[in-house]
């Protein structure tokens, strides 16, 4: 197994391009003019500005988002003193984690020096280049001296992660373990095994969070660090020297509440663990093998709460939960130092986050494991996106409060949203629209869009609602058996849904009215009165009637039922709008653009007239998001085709021009022509679309569906939808494979659509053209 894994690791590091990091330009450099801006003569302008005002370096360079990961390779985790060259893969890996989890750029620097003074001078000389310094894998006690001096002599954050990262994560774990076991921090007796940099930093931070220093016993390879001992004591160990009769780890652990191991495998024996207090807390953080395996610990003490440094056991004390977000917060306020209060803020924020409900997106990243606050989940998981948006703002606030922030934030909530948006195009787009809905709610004097969900018994729907309700942007109504739905809410511990409305259609006061209305609506289409009564007991039909009659502004279904069965009652009851053609719309988000694709789900081979109405409906949706619609009618030819498909698209273009002459539309054209302005400029200067289309209309369902699924699989983009176009009132159908996050996205965009519909209807009523 080990040999096979090592082989895979070597392949991972060597294949394609050797190493793990890359440098990419953040600015365009495709033309001679771009080159003149990027380098000479254009580069002189920012140089002059920085010379006049050094703070401008943060405006014109990457300094504010650039961290140096620096080592001399004297204490590489699990490998020892392997030197700077052999440590480079570790430092590159650290850079990957900074970028992945906080969007921070990194240069790894391996210094060939065993001299403390030489190393310090090397790092100090780099201050003009970097916004922060992450010290890594430096032996003790050199690491203490180096960090202390650099913090005093530099005016940017300096952070030794081996010490403080471990301390912050284990402090968060201790806070929560004590809460679960109902132990008080000021009363717990803590025993450390290992007295190196990480152990001493942990002990210091434990004191900061409330553990009494007199209750801490520290052991090293020679036993308890106590007042009568002379051998192997340095000034850093001396800080935790105590007067005691205990001489060995076994002595110290009798009756102890907490074991904190930063030592070697097997250091904690089952016999030692047996002698600890009730509900012992064991942090066995030796790598790669812990001081005691969880399976061994549970055999002798089923009441133990354990954390290790390994990802294959619960409660991994993983520094990636700390350093990316800590530096993110520090860099964003241009902090001069990382203070003890900033570390404390990070630990507290992580502890609080672990006590919150865990989103499905986190479970999906861990093979759909379920995580609930308790003995096996006392610290968050690294792939929880909320770590960044929780820890970084807490660190930034602590920096501002501690007067070490050169650029204080004006609005923490806005900063948190900015971090969320930076994590992905999709999250940024959704956050923008959540804020848009909130503004709309203010405009309508607190009236939130009412959205009905016919699948109230769906776990995914309930989990999505728990998140949506916390944003306070919609008034949700669930359909289903109230008792069963409420029981599910209780079982899933979805506290935000305790007061949510749940109705059973057949017991609703409007059931008979809806039945009569539906029968009148469909009696000439083969629906008998008894059939109308039966169908109106169906949640999908009832929800459509609620939207038609205005008891709800919109509906969202499809998490459980198949697409065709969901859209049938929508078409029969809500119906198509004046454009007469319903269609499916997909929204695709790239880093630098947003595209709308239609029809992707409904019409197999639409006519020119239908395609025109689909394009007009899609253009209206683009306007919801303040995007000027530019519509490309796609085919396999550019403005010359005479066969059926090209002719159909050209005719559809003509119809659109007649209906809405102001709309930017052209076709037929090939897909590359539609989205690449250079092709239009060079070959088709007569084309109406000059800067690339943002709405792509396909000639048939085959091409539309295939295109969006290929884009989804082959590119770094976010795909949302499908959304229904051309319906009299907002109604959208999910795909049964949807995730909780997909549901949240669809609900948010449905709410935007519902608000736009209401504002448009109000404007029309008041005699204004919207």
Query: At 614, is the pLDDT very low, low, confident or very high (cuts 50, 70, 90)?
Result: very high
66-71 and 132-135 as β-strands: parallel, antiparallel, unpaired?
A: parallel
Task: Report the share of the chain in percent with pLDDT over 70.
Answer: 99
In Å, the largest CA–CA distance within the chain is 100
Instruction: Indicate if the alpha-carbon torsion angle 364, 366, 369, 375 is positive or negative.
Output: negative
The yes-or-no verdict on residue 770 having pLDDT over 70 is no
pLDDT tens, residue by residue, 414-460: 999 899 888 877 888 888 899 999 998 988 888 999 999 999 999 99
The yes-or-no verdict on residue 223 having pLDDT over 70 is yes
Identify whether the C-beta of residue 649 lies closer than 8 Å to the C-beta of residue 699.
yes
Is 100 a residue of the active site? Answer: no
**What is the phi/psi pair of residue 749, to 5°?**
-70, -30
Find the DSSP H helices in 384-524: 386-401, 412-423, 425-443, 459-471, 482-491, 511-522
Bridge partners, 719 (sequence order): 588
pLDDT tens, residue by residue, 512-569: 999 999 999 998 988 899 999 999 999 999 999 999 999 999 999 999 999 889 999 9
H or E element in which residue 350 lies: helix 340-354
For tokens 């000639």, name the residue.
699
The yes-or-no verdict on residue 757 having pLDDT over 90 is no
Q: What mean pLDDT value characterizes the chain?
A: 93
pTM of the model: 0.82
Bridge partners, 284 (sequence order): 261, 308
Catalytic position from the list 7, 12, 27, 39: 39
CB-count exposure of residue 288 (10 Å: 0-12, 13-18, 19+): exposed
pLDDT at residue number 30 = 83
Alpha carbons 358 and 369: distance in angstroms, whole number: 11
Mean pLDDT of 623-635: 93
Alpha carbons 725 and 722: distance in angstroms, whole number: 9
Identify whether the C-beta of residue 407 lies closer than 8 Å to the C-beta of residue 369.
no
Q: What share of the chain is helix, strand, coil (3-state, %, to 5)?
A: 50, 15, 35
Instruction: Supply angle C-alpha 106, 112, 115, rounded to 5.
Output: 115
pLDDT tens, residue by residue, 317-360: 999 999 999 999 999 999 999 999 999 999 999 999 999 988 87
DSSP SS3 for 134: strand
pLDDT tens, residue by residue, 267-307: 999 999 999 999 999 999 998 889 999 999 999 999 999 99
pLDDT tens, residue by residue, 638-651: 998 788 889 999 99
pLDDT tens, residue by residue, 695-749: 999 999 999 999 999 998 888 888 898 999 989 999 999 988 888 989 999 999 9
Is 94 a residue of the active site? Answer: yes
Tokens of 632: 């490309």
DSSP string, 495-539: GGGTT-EEE-GGGSTTHHHHHHHHHHHHGGGT--HHHHHHHHTSH
Instruction: Indicate if the alpha-carbon torsion angle 269, 271, 272, 274 is positive or negative.
Output: positive
- Kindly list the distances between the CA atom of residue 255 and the CA atoms of 191, 249, 267, 471, in Å, as whole numbers in the listed order: 10, 12, 17, 47
Query: Who's near 658: CB < 8 A, 6+ residues apart?
Result: none
Buried b (16+ CB within 10 A) or exposed e, 106-124: bbbbbbeeeebeebbebbe
- Kindly list the distances between the CA atom of residue 762 and the CA atoms of 35, 450, 554, 689, 765, in Å, as whole numbers in the listed order: 52, 16, 16, 33, 5
Catalytic position from the list 63, 94, 729, 758: 94
């Amino acid at each position: 197994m080990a040999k096979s894994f090592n082989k895979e690791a070597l392949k991972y590091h060597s294949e394609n391009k050797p190493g793990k990091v890359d440098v990419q330009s953040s600015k365009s450099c495709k033309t001679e003019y771009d080159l003149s801006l990027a380098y000479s003569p254009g580069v002189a302008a920012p140089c002059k500005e920085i010379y006049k005002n050094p703070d401008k370096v943060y405006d014109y360079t990457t300094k504010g988002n650039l961290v140096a990961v620096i080592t001399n390779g004297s204490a590489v985790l699990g490998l020892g003193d392997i030197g700077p060259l052999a440590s480079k893969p570790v430092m590159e890996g650290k850079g990957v984690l900074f970028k992945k989890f906080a969007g921070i750029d990194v240069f790894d620097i391996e210094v060939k020096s065993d001299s403390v003074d030489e190393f310090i001078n090397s790092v100090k000389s780099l201050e003009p280049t970097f916004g922060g310094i992450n010290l890594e894998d430096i032996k003790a006690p050199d690491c203490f001296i180096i960090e202390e001096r650099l913090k005093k002599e530099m005016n940017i954050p300096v952070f030794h992660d081996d010490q403080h990262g471990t301390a912050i994560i284990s402090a968060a774990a201790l806070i929560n373990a004590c809460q679960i076991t109902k132990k008080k921090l000021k009363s717990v007796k803590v025993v450390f095994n290992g007295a190196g940099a990480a152990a001493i930093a942990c002990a210091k931070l434990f004191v900061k969070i409330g553990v009494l220093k007199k209750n801490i016993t520290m052991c090293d390879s020679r036993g308890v660090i106590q007042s009568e001992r002379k051998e192997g004591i340095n000034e850093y160990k001396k800080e935790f020297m105590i007067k005691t009769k205990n001489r060995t780890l076994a002595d110290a652990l009798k009756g102890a509440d907490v074991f904190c191991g930063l030592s070697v495998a097997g250091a904690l024996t089952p016999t030692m663990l047996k002698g600890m207090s009730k509900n012992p807390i064991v942090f066995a953080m030796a790598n790669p093998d812990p001081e005691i395996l969880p399976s061994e610990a549970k055999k002798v003490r089923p009441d133990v709460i354990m954390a290790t440094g390994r990802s294959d056991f619960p409660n991994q004390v993983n520094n990636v939960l700390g350093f990316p977000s800590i530096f993110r917060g520090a860099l964003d306020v241009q902090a001069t130092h990382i203070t003890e209060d900033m570390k404390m803020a990070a630990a507290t924020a992580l502890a609080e986050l672990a006590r919150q409900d865990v989103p499905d997106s986190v479970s999906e990243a861990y093979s759909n494991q379920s995580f609930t606050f308790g003995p096996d989940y006392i610290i968050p998981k690294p792939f929880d996106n909320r770590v960044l948006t929780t820890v970084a703002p807490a660190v930034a606030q602590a920096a501002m409060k501690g007067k070490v922030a050169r650029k204080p934030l004006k609005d923490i909530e806005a900063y948190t949203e900015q971090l969320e948006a930076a994590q992905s195009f999709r999250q940024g787009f959704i956050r923008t629209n959540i804020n848009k809905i909130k503004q709309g709610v203010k405009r309508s004097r607190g009236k939130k869009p009412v959205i009905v969900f016919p699948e109230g018994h769906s776990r995914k729907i309930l989990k999505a609602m728990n998140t949506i309700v916390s944003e306070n942007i919609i008034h949700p109504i669930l359909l289903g058996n109230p008792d069963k739905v409420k029981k599910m809410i209780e079982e899933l511990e979805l506290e935000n849904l305790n007061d949510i409305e749940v109705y059973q259609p057949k017991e609703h006061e409007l059931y008979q009215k809806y039945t009569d209305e539906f029968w009148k609506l469909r009696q000439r289409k083969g629906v008998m009165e008894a059939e109308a009564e039966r169908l109106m007991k169906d949640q999908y039909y009832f929800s459509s009637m609620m939207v038609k009659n205005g008891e709800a502004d919109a509906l969202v279904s499809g998490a459980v039922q198949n697409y065709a069965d969901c859209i049938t009652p929508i078409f029969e009851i809500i119906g198509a709008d004046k454009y007469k053609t319903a269609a499916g719309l997909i929204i695709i988000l790239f880093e630098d653009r947003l595209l709308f694709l239609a029809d992707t789900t409904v019409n197999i081979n639409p006519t020119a007239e239908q395609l025109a109405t689909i394009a007009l409906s899609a253009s209206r949706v683009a306007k919801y998001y303040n995007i000027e619609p530019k519509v490309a009618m796609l085919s396999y030819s550019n403005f010359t085709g005479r066969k059926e498909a090209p002719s159909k698209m050209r005719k559809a273009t003509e119809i659109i021009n007649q209906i809405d002459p102001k709309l930017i539309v052209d076709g037929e054209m090939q897909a590359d022509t539609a989205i690449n302005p250079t092709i239009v400029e060079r070959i088709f200067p007569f084309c109406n679309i000059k800067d690339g289309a943002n709405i792509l209309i396909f000639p048939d369902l085959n091409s539309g569906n295939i295109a969006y699924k290929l884009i989804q699989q082959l590119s770094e983009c976010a795909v949302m939808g499908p959304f229904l176009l051309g319906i009299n009132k907002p109604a959208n159908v999910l795909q049964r494979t949807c995730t909780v996050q997909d549901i949240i996205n669809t609900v948010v965009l449905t709410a935007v659509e519902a608000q736009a519909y209401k504002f448009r209807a109000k404007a029309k009523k008041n005699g204004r053209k919207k």
